[in-house]
Amino acid sequence: MSVLQEMSPNVKQMRQLEYAVLARQAIRIREELKQGVRKPYKEVIDVCWGDPHRAGIKPLSFVRQVLAACLYPQLVNSDKLPVDVRQRAQRLLQECCGGSVGAYTNTRGIPKIVHRVSEFITRRDGGAPSPPENIYISPGSQWALTNMLKILVNSKASTRTGVLTPVPCHSTTTLSLEGLGAVIVPYYLSERQGWELQVEELQRALESAKGVCNPVALYVINPGNPSGHVQSRKSMQEVIRLVSEKRLFLLADEVYQECVYGENSEFVSYKRVLAEMGPPLSDTVELASFHSASKGYMGECGLRGGYVELVNLDPAVMKYIYTIFSMDTCAPVLGQMALDLMMNPPQPGDPSYPLYDVEKQHIRTALVHNVKTARAVLNSLPGFCCQPVEAGIFVFPRLHIPPKAIQKAKEVGMKPDTFYCSRLLEEAGVLVSPGCEYGQKEGTFHIRFCIMTPQDIMEELLKRLTSFHTQFMEDFS
Amino acid sequence: MSSLQQVNPRVRGMRTSPHAALQSLAARITQEITQEITQEITQEITQGAQRSFKEVIDLTSGDPQRAGMKSISFVRQVLAACLCPHLLKDTSLPLDVRLRAQSLLDSCDGGSVGAYTPSAGLARVRQSIAEFLTRRDAGAPSYSRDVYISAGSQVALMLLVKLLASGEGETPTGVLTPVPSPHTLPGLLDEEGVTLVPYRLTEERGWALELSELHRALKASRGHCNPRAIYVSNPGIPTGHVQDRKSIEEVIRFAAAERLVLLVDEVYQDSVFGSEFVSYKRVLFQMDKVYSESVELVSFHSLSSGRMGEGGLRAGFMEAVNMDPEVTRYVHVMLCFDISAPVTGQLALDLMVDPPKPGDASYDTYTQEILSARATLSHNAQRAWQILNGLPGMSCQPAMGGVYLYPSVRLPAGILEQAEMLGVEPDVLYCQRFLQEEGVLVGAGLHHGGDTHHLRLCVLVPPDSLEEALTRLSSFHLRLVDRFSQCNGVKDKDEHGRSVRLVETTFEGSTVSAQGHNRNE
């Protein structure tokens, strides 16, 4: 009695991540290392996820102290913790149902926290109001995005729903779309221009969708993942005009907004740009923007806290959004609190501020240093070309793979860039992910790795990569 | 998507439970009370408050900690130490707490609860769960590869339903579902475009599951859907019925014969009074090979219910037995795009399945806390059952497990009429009135058709809250029955002995809109 034959076709078409192959390999290698098998390296450097803690970054003390006190309130009274930590924990606990992080909360999130998210957004966007009833806290931004897609993707229509999606794009979004039976309409970011989004390309993509599907939404990631590009105001205005003209719903994934370090780059939110464009656009363009506690200096991916803010949605539609979100009780309470702490960190004068500031600066300095070093090293290696990285926590260099290697990859049944990553893992103990996971122009190859790591780990990584790459190019020349 | 027409029709068709509207009302009342109290203090209003209650008692959420029950110390201490590892050096924390926290952190990537985990959950926790299941089922083996961690049992259930749901244009998938069932279940099935095939539980037999009814339901479904699975909750939600071995075997044989996947919600397995809980897996493995090696069974458990009560930490798991490895592959893929079980929740699962043992420093406290909560639940269930059965028109089956009581209520004709006029379900109206007049929130039962209505009460609350709530319920219910049996001088039978329609002539303001139970806000 196998279910397979009868499994949902939408699910069947979801492709398996390339990562799965590499993950299995990594497990085997780690096992072998544990058993003392000799290798040219002592441990695997895992930088394939956007996961700073996995890569060795330490959590921020303030955040962890407050959360620990919320979990185990006896700590609130102990003098082991700084006064502001205890006060913050006390206030957060009072705001929870039953004074406990173990109780469910309202669907949208703990009301006072939702309020403070709203205040954060207003501050960030130079005063543009952000009504709390338009905000939903969710277990990570992807969850909220999937919920929005469930509303947008019409699974019963004879013409399938299309969503414009960037190439490259991180895989969780594309997987969600596949699982919902939507058609992915790719628009190619322009690598030579630092992965810029060009509105002509959006037009072309829309043209290509004619007769194939009904495009209802445009998904944008700014700052880009994996591209690291920060959109200019002008570009964002063009996008807004386009979605207005074509009546597309704008999904703006802005989870990397905290991590901007490019010299001439500044993050400005889609909501702000939209507000500044004034009516009629500011009153009509439908926008959902996403943020998260997983990225940025906090890097608390495991706690699962994110939110979506909805702008200009029909109240009747908002009703259904509530329905969808209420199917899952609520975001984990600790995740909600982590979000709150991210938006309301210690201020100068608070007892925790000095340590908080030091830790944050340390991470930021490492990040900026790593970006510089990684780019320099990559660009010095023959066959690699890395665009400037203005934001985010990844580099996504282009890689030229020699024809002999492409052939060998075919023989072992792997995509060429996956093959490169597999060899890199095996021979140098470095786990990165292949560009095919994110989409790339036909015939081009890339790798992606996380650069939010301690400096010494990045240096070790680059050393291993350099020696591996040189050997690889020799072997397959 | 400015037009309603463009919202995914499947979402538009989702059934919502009336619970959300009732909860909103409760929240509003609580807010009003807070304002009133503030006003009283600042303006020194000495006249009595217009309300007879000072705070709302919530008996619906099945969320013990929201209701005021305490968490388990061992769990909170370990998790705090995992979040804040420098606490590992704090000797005021028991040794076993610190050792466990260290061990758990070692299994996290980067030694941090802030790192992502594999999509099916931390390997170490999956292993702990497998070992727990094997112990629980007297040696019937469970394997970590069959265990999947998710952000709560509902999420795992949604994944399975999604897997089973057929594509467009084909006959929709059907899932046999009990009536009554958890109130979120219909909406969940609607979301995936799956047809709910109801099978009625037998109230007079303590909400037992009848094989003949399963057959009837299946037969009735043929032609308009393709039934692929049967959902069972054991202990029953909200009925509290605990299936015996014989009943479980019957269901398993039925599922085998009809080629249905068994989806068994066992989240209240820790809260069984009197009789013994035996899992579907255990029964399955004791049956003949023709069943034990072929019946596809997925069972669900969670942090949210029973012993742990840690809903806010969001974690649960499912065990999939006899699942085709190809299907397993897809489960993993689907878990990939929903990376949502928080690490702290996963670690709490480890603590749930592998608690302190005799000899451990925390053992005594842990045991005391567990026994105390269990005693409270048992006492509350008994007490509530007594009171409810004593009220006119109310009848309650004894709860054998779980945290709910589900009494039937024969509502006076006047309420039925009022409900019809307002466009709401009568039991929802009852709950609204109860909430407004006495400040107690109980849940409305799912409508079964005809004259039967039910209420749903969660009894895992501090005993004095329950006592207070039951007092208010008695008072409200008696008043209501009384009010409707004398209508300002109009007798209920006229001089010829014919029954006269009973109508309540005093209206109380109701804040329910005409859309009643479809309203979400």
Picking from B10, B30, B90, B112 by the largest number of A CB atoms within 10 A of its own CB, the best residue to mutate is B112
pLDDT of residue B2: 58
Mean pLDDT, residues A142-154 taken together: 90
Contact (CB, 8 A) for A340 and A292 = no
pLDDT of residue B153: 85
Q: Which residue of B has its CA nearest to A179?
A: B334
Strand locations in A54-212, DSSP E? Answer: 135-138, 161-167, 183-188
Cβ of B166 within 8 Å of Cβ of A155? The answer is: no
pLDDT of residue B490: 39
Q: How far apart are CA A340 and CA A109, in angstroms?
A: 11
Reply yes or no on whether the pLDDT at B215 is more than 50.
yes
Q: Which residue of A has its CA nearest to B315?
A: A332
Q: Shortest CB distance from B309 goes to which of A102, A143, A150?
A: A102
Mean pLDDT, residues B102-121 taken together: 87
**What percent of chain B lies above the pLDDT cut of 90?**
49
Contact (CB, 8 A) for A36 and A434 = no
Contact (CB, 8 A) for A72 and A64 = no
Query: Which value does ipTM take for this structure?
Result: 0.78
Picking from A12, A54, A284 by the largest number of B CB atoms within 10 A of its own CB, the best residue to mutate is A54
Q: Shortest CB distance from B520 goes to which of A55, A80, A319?
A: A319
Q: Quote the mean pLDDT of chain B.
A: 84
Q: Which segment of A248-252, A433-437, B515-519 scores lowest on mean pLDDT? A: B515-519
For residue B344, give how far its alpha carbon lies from the nearest alpha carbon of chain A (Å).
7
Cβ of A12 within 8 Å of Cβ of B71? The answer is: no
**pLDDT by residue (tens digit) across A110-132?**
999 999 999 999 999 999 899 99
Reply yes or no on whether the pLDDT at B516 is more than 60.
no
Strands B226-233 and B195-200: unpaired
Cβ of B338 within 8 Å of Cβ of A335? The answer is: no
Strands B226-233 and B316-321: unpaired
Name the pLDDT band for B338 (thresholds 50, 70, 90): low
**pLDDT by residue (tens digit) across A151-163?**
999 877 888 999 9
Reply yes or no on whether the pLDDT at B337 is more than 70.
no
Q: Which segment of A421-430, B44-53, B195-204, B386-395 scores lowest on mean pLDDT? A: B44-53
Cβ of B63 within 8 Å of Cβ of A97? The answer is: yes
Mean pLDDT, residues A418-444 taken together: 95
**Residue (of A32, A54, A166, A280) closest to B122 by Cα position:** A54
B293 touches chain A (CB under 8 A): no
Q: How far apart are CA B309 and CA B71, in angstroms?
A: 7
Reply yes or no on whether the pLDDT at B47 is more than 60.
no
**pLDDT by residue (tens digit) across B139-179?**
999 999 999 999 888 888 988 888 888 655 568 899 999 99
pLDDT of residue B511: 35
**pLDDT by residue (tens digit) across B225-256?**
999 999 999 999 999 999 999 999 999 999 99
**pLDDT by residue (tens digit) across B350-385?**
999 999 999 999 999 999 999 988 888 999 999 999
CB contacts < 8 Å between A and B, how many?
Answer: 284
Mean pLDDT, residues A383-407 taken together: 95
Q: What pTM value is reported for the model?
A: 0.83
Contact (CB, 8 A) for B87 and A64 = no
Cβ of A2 within 8 Å of Cβ of B110? The answer is: no
Higher per-residue confidence, B410 vs B284 = B284
Chain A residues close to B339, C-beta within 8 Å: 140, 142, 172
pLDDT of residue B1: 52
Cβ of A68 within 8 Å of Cβ of B7? The answer is: no
Whole-angstrom CA distances from A330 to A327, A334, A363, B44, B62 are: 9, 11, 31, 39, 14
Q: Which residue of B has its CA nearest to A330?
A: B312
Chain A residues close to B115, C-beta within 8 Å: 51, 53-54, 301-302
pLDDT of residue B38: 67
Beta carbons within 10 angstroms of residue A209's beta carbon: 16
Mean pLDDT, residues A428-438 taken together: 95
Q: Which residue of A has its CA nearest to B344?
A: A303
Is A309 buried (19+), middle (13-18) or exposed (0-12) by CB count in 10 A? buried
**Residue (of A156, A311, A197, A324) closest to B1 by Cα position:** A311
Q: Which segment of A278-282, B41-45, B377-381 scores lowest on mean pLDDT? A: B41-45
**How far does Cα A263 stand from its chain's mean position?**
22
Reply yes or no on whether the pLDDT at B15 is more than 70.
yes
